[in-house]
Structures are given as structure tokens and as C-alpha cells.
């Protein structure tokens, strides 16, 4: 839980130089959590290896995705670096990144995976 403001200068450089703590998230995807409250808001960087996917899931709150590098896609489109995607509560999708990508994700509430 954050108690003080968090500022990360030169975020893109830090994401690739080992100064952030990365953990396995899903096969081919690593996560660096910025903050995470149980059943509440969370923010993280997600680093997708080429070909990584996220199975279908439902959003229980708003999800904001900012594609920082590379690209990802879902059933609704292709999102290159610089794209902001906002998925509203109740929406569902599956995500793939054929080339790999780096994403800033901000969740209002946790997502519910529809498959294992």
C-alpha cells in the first residue's frame, strides 16, 4: 500500500535495465507491481515476450492499458505503442502480443479469468 507519492523517472529505461523487480505473471509475461490493494485498485508494468497471451477474462472494474513499447491485440483491434485502451466493467477479452510489448496497466478492481 502506498503511503507516499510514487515517482518513477525514466520509466522506459528502468523497465529494461534491471532496476525494477519483475515476477512471473502468466506464461511469457512478467509483472512489476507498482501498488496492489486486495480487491481494490492496482497498477503494474507488464512485460510480454513475443507470442505471449492472456486468456479470456472479465473486468470487474475499469482497466486502463497504456502500451509503452511493442504492441498487443484483442478481439476488438490492434494496439501499437502510444495507444491507451480503457476496458469498462463487465467487458471481456483475451490478449495476445505476437511481437512482445511493455504495458502500464491500472485496474480499478481485479479481473476474473474465465479459463485456467
Whether the predicted model's global pTM rises above the 0.85 cut: yes
Please indicate, yes or no, if residue 9 is contained in any of the structural domains: no
Please indicate, yes or no, if residue 11 is contained in any of the structural domains: no
Please indicate, yes or no, if residue 107 is contained in any of the structural domains: yes
pLDDT at 42: 95
Buried b (16+ CB within 10 A) or exposed e, 21-38: eeeebeebbbbbebeeee
What CATH number should be reported for the domain holding residue 109? 2.60.120.10
Average pLDDT over residues 5-28: 85
Q: Residue 43: CB partners within 8 Å, gap ≥ 6?
A: 33, 34, 35, 36, 104, 105, 106, 107
**24, pLDDT greater than 80:** yes
**3, pLDDT greater than 80:** no
pLDDT at 4: 80
Domain coverage including residue 44:
26-113
Please indicate, yes or no, if residue 82 is contained in any of the structural domains: yes
Domain count, the chain: 1
1 — pLDDT class (breaks 50, 70, 90): low
Please indicate, yes or no, if residue 91 is contained in any of the structural domains: yes
Please indicate, yes or no, if residue 19 is contained in any of the structural domains: no
Please indicate, yes or no, if residue 67 is contained in any of the structural domains: yes
pLDDT in tens, 54-104: 999 999 999 999 999 999 999 999 999 999 999 999 999 999 999 999 999
Please indicate, yes or no, if residue 94 is contained in any of the structural domains: yes
Amino acid at each position: 500500500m502506498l503511503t507516499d507519492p510514487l515517482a518513477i523517472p525514466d520509466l522506459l529505461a528502468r523497465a529494461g535495465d534491471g532496476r525494477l523487480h519483475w515476477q512471473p505473471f502468466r506464461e511469457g509475461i512478467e509483472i512489476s507491481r507498482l501498488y496492489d490493494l486486495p480487491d481494490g485498485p492496482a497498477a503494474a508494468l507488464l512485460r510480454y515476450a513475443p507470442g505471449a497471451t492472456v486468456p479470456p477474462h472479465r473486468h470487474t472494474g475499469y482497466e486502463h492499458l497504456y502500451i509503452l513499447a511493442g504492441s498487443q491485440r484483442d478481439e476488438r483491434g490492434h494496439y501499437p505503442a502510444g495507444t491507451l485502451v480503457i476496458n469498462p466493467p463487465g467487458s471481456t477479452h483475451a490478449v495476445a502480443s505476437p511481437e512482445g510489448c511493455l504495458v502500464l496497466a491500472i485496474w480499478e478492481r481485479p479481473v476474473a479469468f474465465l479459463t485456467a
